[in-house]
C-alpha cells in the first residue's frame, strides 16, 4: 500500500436544516488525520456543465473553526473562495458554516421549508490540492421530510460516500418529500424523483424514459452506470436541465405533462441530458476535465458537446416514435431559424461562441442578438450536416452514430482522456472515408455553408418560405410596463438601428399621435405604412424628450422549412430513409 495513503485526511460533512424556512442550511465539516501546518479550504466558483463564474462563496456565512476539544481556531480569508486555518500540531479540526440558497435553477442551491436542493459545488469545501480526497456526507433530514435523492453511493441510511471531490461536486442532492419511484432500463437502475407535485403519469413516464435510455445505450454501445437518478423540479413555469456523471436535474412546469407538445419537450430534455452521460461527461474535450474549480476552463469544443447533443435529443425522440418525420424536421429547421434570424450569426462562429460562453452565453443582454449566436443551435446545424455527409460518403453503411461510438471507445474507454478537436476530426474522417474539413472549419468561421449541398444528398431541401414576404418592420421589440412602452431590443441594420432608436427609450408618440399602452398601435401603424416611409417617434431618454425619425423597411425574417425534394433519385431516397431511421 502507498505510504501516502496513511496521510490522507478523513473528511466528513453533516448537513442540517434548522433554518431551511429562511433559506439557510448548516454544514459541519470534520477533518481528521491532518499532518500540515495550515489548511486552505476552497469552494468552487462554478459548476461543470454551466460555464459561468457564479461566486458560490458569496452565500457562505457564519464560518467558524474549532479544534477537537471545541476551542475556537482563528482563521483568515485569503481570497474570495479560500479560508486558511492554522493547524500546527492539530490532527483534527471542525468547521461549521451556513449556506444561503434561494435561487431557482438547476445549478444553484434552493432551500425552504418544503425541500432542499443541494448543489455540492455551491455547498462543500475541499482542501486545496486534495481534490482526489474521498469524503462522506450525512444528511440530517427535518422531521417532516422523508426522502433523499442523489447519485452518491449510499453507505448508511442517510450517509453517502464520494471517492473524490470531482464526484462529490458532480452529484446533486435533493432532500424533502419528493415523489420517488424506480425502474430498470438498459440493465441500469433508474430513480425518478419528482419535486413540487405535477400532472405526470408515472407509468407512462417510466415506459417512455425506458425507450429513450435503451435507444441511447444502443447508440453508444454500453451504459457506464449501475444506477442513475433523474431529479425534476416542477414549478408553475419552469425549464432547463444540467447533466451529471450519474444523474441529472431538470426543470419543468407541473401541469405541462397533460399537453402533448410540452410532454414531448420534457422527453426531449430527458434525452438531451441523458445523452450527456457519454457526450461531455466521458467523451469530452481535454479542457473539460480534470477541472480547475477556481477559474474559467476554456474550450472551443462546446459546439461539439452541446451541438451534437442538441442534434440528437429530438432525433432520439423521433427514433423512439414520439415525433413523426414532419414534427422532427420542423424542430431541426427551428435551429436554422434561431441562428439565421440573429444578426450575430455573421459575427460570431460556433467555436467562438463556445470559447466566450463564460462571458456571453450565460450573460445575455439587449444586444446579444446582434453580437452572437448559441453554440447549441449552430452546433446542431453543423451536426446535422456532418451526419448527412457521413451517410452519403459511406452510401448509407455508416452514420454519425458510428463515429461517436468509436470516439467514446477510443478516447474514454481505451485512453481515458479528453480529445483535441483535430483528433476527433481525424477519427471521423477515417470512419467516413472522406474529408470533413468543410464542416469542422465552418465551426470556426462566421460565414454560412451552402446547406442544400448537404440536404440534397439525402433527398431533402431547406427552403426559406418567407423569402417573398412583404412584411414591414421597424426592427424593434418593446416592453409594456406600468403604463409605459419602452424599447427592449434594436435589430442591427434595421431602420431603428440606423436612426439611433435605443433600448430603454420610452415611446410616447408616433407622428404626433400619443401611443396607448393597452393596444398594438405600433404594429398597426407599421403594417399599414409603405416600405421606405418615415415615422416620427417622440421618445423620452433619461428624462429628456426628443424626436427620432425612423424609416420602415422590409423585414428580413426567415422562416425555414426542411422538406423532401419533389423529385428524388433512388440513391437520395435510400439515403434519406437511412437518415430518418
Q: Do residues 362 and 108 make contact, with C-beta atoms less than 8 angstroms apart?
A: no
Pick the closest to residue 563 from 454, 449, 477, 461 (CA basis).
461
Domain boundary among the residues 114, 147, 177 is at: 177
Angle between helices 260-275 and 202-220 (to 10 degrees): 40
Bridge partners, residue 176, by sequence: 147
59 within domain boundaries: yes
pLDDT of residue 560: 98
pLDDT of residue 129: 95
409 within domain boundaries: no
Of 527 and 562, more confident? 562
Q: What is the mean pLDDT of residues 524-543?
A: 94
pLDDT of residue 519: 75
461 within domain boundaries: no
One-character DSSP codes across 256-303: GGGSHHHHHHHHHHHHHHHHTTTBTTTB-BTTSSS--TTS----STHH
User: Which pLDDT band, with edges at 50, 70 and 90, does 6 fall under?
Assistant: low
- pTM: predicted TM-score of the whole model, two decimal places: 0.96
Tens digits of residue pLDDT in 366-389: 999 999 999 999 999 999 999 999
Bridge partners, residue 76, by sequence: 84
pLDDT of residue 1: 37
CB under 8 A, 24+ apart: contacts of 67-72: 67/92, 67/93, 67/94, 68/92, 68/93, 68/94
pLDDT of residue 3: 41
The mean pLDDT value of the chain amounts to 96
State what percent of residues in the chain have pLDDT above 70: 99
327 within domain boundaries: no
Tens digits of residue pLDDT in 106-160: 999 999 999 999 999 999 999 999 999 999 999 999 999 999 999 999 999 999 9
Tens digits of residue pLDDT in 278-328: 999 999 999 999 999 999 999 999 999 999 999 999 999 999 999 999 999
Domain boundary among the residues 124, 153, 177 is at: 177
Tens digits of residue pLDDT in 92-116: 999 999 999 999 999 999 999 999 9
Q: What is the mean pLDDT of residues 25-40?
A: 96
379 within domain boundaries: no
Instruction: Count up the domains in the chain and report the number.
Output: 2
User: Which pLDDT band, with edges at 50, 70 and 90, does 59 fall under?
Assistant: very high
Instruction: Answer whether residue 5 shows pLDDT above 70.
Output: no
Task: Kindly report the CATH number assigned to the domain that includes residue 487.
Answer: 2.30.42.10
User: Which pLDDT band, with edges at 50, 70 and 90, does 517 fall under?
Assistant: confident
State what percent of residues in the chain have pLDDT above 90: 95
Tens digits of residue pLDDT in 332-344: 999 999 999 999 9
64 within domain boundaries: yes
User: Which pLDDT band, with edges at 50, 70 and 90, does 54 fall under?
Assistant: very high
- Supply the range of the domain harboring residue 476: 472-554
User: Which pLDDT band, with edges at 50, 70 and 90, does 516 fall under?
Assistant: confident
Residue 105 Rama label (left phi>0; alpha psi -120 to 50; beta): beta
Domain boundary among the residues 155, 177, 199 is at: 177
In angstroms, the CA 222 to CA 220 distance is 6
Instruction: Answer whether residue 345 shows pLDDT above 80.
Output: yes
User: Quick one: 430 exposed, middle or buried, by C-beta within 10 A (0-12, 13-18, 19+)?
Assistant: exposed
CB under 8 A, 24+ apart: contacts of 567-570: 568/459, 569/459
pLDDT of residue 2: 43
As a whole number of Å, the CA-based R_g of the chain is 27
CA angle 433, 434, 438 (to 5 degrees): 150
- C-alpha count within 13 angstroms, C-beta hemisphere, residue 364: 11
Q: What is the mean pLDDT of residues 423-450?
A: 96
293 within domain boundaries: no
Task: Kindly report the CATH number assigned to the domain that includes residue 33.
Answer: 2.60.40.3650
Tens digits of residue pLDDT in 245-267: 999 999 999 999 999 999 999 99
134 within domain boundaries: yes
Amino acid at each position: 500500500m502507498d505510504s501516502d495513503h496513511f496521510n490522507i485526511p478523513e473528511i466528513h460533512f453533516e448537513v442540517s436544516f434548522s433554518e431551511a424556512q429562511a433559506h439557510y442550511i448548516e454544514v459541519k465539516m470534520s477533518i481528521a488525520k491532518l499532518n500540515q501546518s495550515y489548511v486552505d479550504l476552497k469552494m468552487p466558483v462554478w459548476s461543470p456543465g454551466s460555464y459561468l463564474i457564479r461566486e458560490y462563496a458569496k452565500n457562505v456565512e457564519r464560518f467558524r473553526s474549532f479544534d477537537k476539544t471545541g476551542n475556537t481556531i482563528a482563521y483568515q480569508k485569503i481570497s474570495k473562495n479560500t479560508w486558511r486555518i492554522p493547524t500546527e500540531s492539530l490532527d483534527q479540526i471542525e468547521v461549521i458554516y451556513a449556506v444561503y440558497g434561494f435561487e431557482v435553477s438547476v445549478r444553484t442551491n434552493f432551500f425552504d421549508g418544503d425541500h432542499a436542493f443541494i448543489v455540492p459545488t455551491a455547498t462543500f469545501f475541499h482542501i486545496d490540492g486534495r481534490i482526489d480526497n474521498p469524503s462522506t456526507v450525512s444528511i440530517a433530514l427535518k422531521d417532516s421530510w422523508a426522502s433523499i435523492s442523489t447519485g452518491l453511493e449510499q453507505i448508511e441510511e442517510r450517509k453517502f460516500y464520494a471517492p473524490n471531490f470531482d464526484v462529490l461536486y458532480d452529484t446533486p442532492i435533493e432532500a424533502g418529500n419528493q415523489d420517488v419511484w424506480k425502474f430498470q432500463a438498459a440493465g441500469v437502475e433508474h430513480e425518478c424523483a419528482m419535486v413540487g407535485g405535477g400532472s405526470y403519469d408515472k407509468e407512462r413516464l417510466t415506459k417512455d424514459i425506458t425507450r429513450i435510455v435503451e435507444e441511447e445505450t444502443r447508440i453508444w454501445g454500453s451504459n457506464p452506470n449501475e444506477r442513475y437518478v433523474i431529479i425534476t423540479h416542477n414549478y408553475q413555469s419552469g425549464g432547463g436541465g444540467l447533466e451529471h456523471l450519474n444523474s441529472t436535474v431538470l426543470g419543468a412546469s407541473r401541469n405541462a405533462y397533460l399537453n402533448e407538445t410540452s410532454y414531448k419537450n420534457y422527453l426531449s430534455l430527458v434525452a438531451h441530458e441523458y445523452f450527456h452521460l457519454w457526450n461531455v461527461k466521458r467523451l469530452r474535450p481535454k479542457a473539460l476535465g480534470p477541472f480547475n474549480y477556481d477559474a474559467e476552463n476554456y474550450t472551443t469544443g462546446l459546439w461539439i458537446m452541446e451541438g451534437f447533443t442538441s442534434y440528437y435529443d429530438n432525433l432520439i425522440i423521433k427514433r423512439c416514435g414520439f415525433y413523426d418525420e414532419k414534427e422532427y424536421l420542423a424542430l431541426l429547421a427551428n435551429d436554422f431559424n434561431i441562428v439565421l434570424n440573429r444578426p450575430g450569426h455573421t459575427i460570431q462562429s460556433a467555436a467562438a461562441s463556445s470559447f466566450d460562453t463564460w462571458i456571453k452565453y450565460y450573460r445575455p443582454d439587449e444586444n446579444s442578438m446582434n453580437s452572437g449566436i448559441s453554440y447549441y443551435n449552430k452546433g446542431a446545424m453543423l451536426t446535422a450536416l456532418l451526419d448527412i455527409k457521413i451517410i452519403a460518403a459511406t452510401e448509407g453503411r455508416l452514420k454519425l452514430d458510428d463515429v461517436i461510438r468509436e470516439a467514446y471507445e477510443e478516447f474514454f474507454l481505451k485512453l481515458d482522456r479528453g480529445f483535441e478537436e483535430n483528433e476527433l476530426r481525424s477519427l471521423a474522417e477515417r470512419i467516413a472515408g472522406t474529408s470533413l474539413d468543410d464542416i469542422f472549419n465552418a465551426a470556426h468561421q462566421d460565414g454560412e455553408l451552402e446547406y442544400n449541398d448537404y440536404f440534397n444528398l439525402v433527398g431533402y431541401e431547406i427552403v426559406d418560405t418567407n423569402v417573398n414576404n412583404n412584411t414591414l418592420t421597424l426592427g424593434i421589440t418593446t416592453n409594456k410596463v406600468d403604463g409605459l412602452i419602452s424599447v427592449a431590443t434594436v435589430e442591427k441594420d434595421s431602420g431603428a438601428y440606423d436612426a439611433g432608436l435605443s433600448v430603454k427609450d420610452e415611446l410616447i408618440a408616433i407622428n404626433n399621435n400619443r401611443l396607448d399602452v393597452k393596444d398594438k398601435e405600433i404594429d398597426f401603424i407599421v403594417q399599414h405604412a409603405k416600405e421606405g416611409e418615415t415615422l416620427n417617434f417622440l421618445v423620452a431618454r433619461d428624462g429628456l424628450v426628443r424626436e427620432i425619425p425612423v424609416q420602415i423597411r422590409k423585414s428580413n425574417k426567415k422562416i425555414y422549412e426542411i422538406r423532401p425534394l419533389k423529385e428524388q433519385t433512388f440513391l437520395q431516397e435510400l439515403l434519406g430513409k437511412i437518415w430518418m431511421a
